[in-house]
Amino acid sequence: MEFLFKPEKLSEDLKYQISEAISKRAEIFSRKRYPGLWEKTDRLNEKKLPEEALLKRRKFRRFYGIICIALGIFLFVPGLMKPGELFVPLVVGAAATIFGISAVIPRKTDAEKFEKKAKKLIKAINSSVKPEDTVVFNNDGVFENGVLLMEYENLEPIIETRNIFFICDGIKILLLRKCDLVSGNPEEFAE
């Protein structure tokens, strides 16, 4: 079976999906490299709290973060005035302020951590895409404009998001939108 794609330029709307795909790829490699750590992580994640409990936890974290900032400033400022006499309050105040700030700042999701890489990838792909480009998947491999681009045995696991296929062989990355598939359908291609 042969699948033909006519790739077009990627829009900025796909940035989040691409960053999700990059995040999934990083997790796949991390799981191979650190299986014991991921086993423990998965065991901890099994016991997911309900959304309501997570919301309470976030509110409590922000509350004690604000309290720590206030107490930290309360200790830090006098410690600055007389650092020789109030060295311990100076150090404790600085530590409490730093801890409070880190508790108040919202944490990034895995996909948000990879947004810059996704933007760079979109820019790089958009600069190389031409209107006459074609990508063909057949029994012999992946071909771009009739030239062998990737061999199947070198492909990493293909990551599928809502609108794209993220394909990589360790050297080259191929981002194909599902709507660019000309022959065949996305479900058959995913199989």
Q: What are the residues whose beta carbons fall under 8 Å from the beta carbon of 88, sequence distance 6 or more?
A: 79
Backbone angles phi, psi at 165, to 5 degrees: -115, 125
> How high is the pLDDT of residue 68?
92
> How high is the pLDDT of residue 47?
72
CA-CA distance, 166 to 113, in Å (whole number)? 18
For the entire predicted model, the pTM comes to 0.68
- Between the alpha carbon of residue 5 and those of residues 78, 82, 89, 161, 179, the distances in Å are 67, 70, 65, 17, 9
Q: What are the residues whose beta carbons fall under 8 Å from the beta carbon of 9, sequence distance 6 or more?
A: 125, 126, 129
CA-CA distance, 80 to 84, in Å (whole number)? 9
CA-CA distance, 31 to 39, in Å (whole number)? 9
The pLDDT profile of the chain, 191 residues, written as one tens digit per residue, is 788 888 888 888 888 888 888 889 888 889 999 999 999 988 887 777 788 888 888 899 999 999 999 999 998 888 888 888 888 888 999 999 999 999 898 877 777 788 888 888 888 888 877 878 888 888 888 888 888 888 888 888 888 888 888 888 888 888 888 888 888 777 887 77
Residue reference for tokens 């709290």 = 49
> How high is the pLDDT of residue 191?
76
Coil, strand, or helix at residue 117?
A: helix
∠ CA 185-190-191, nearest 5°, is 105
User: Which run of H or of E encompasses 47?
Assistant: none
> How high is the pLDDT of residue 63?
93
CA neighbor of 25 nearest in space, from 165, 145, 123 = 165
Residue reference for tokens 């999700």 = 20
- Between the alpha carbon of residue 6 and those of residues 95, 122, 136, the distances in Å are 56, 16, 9
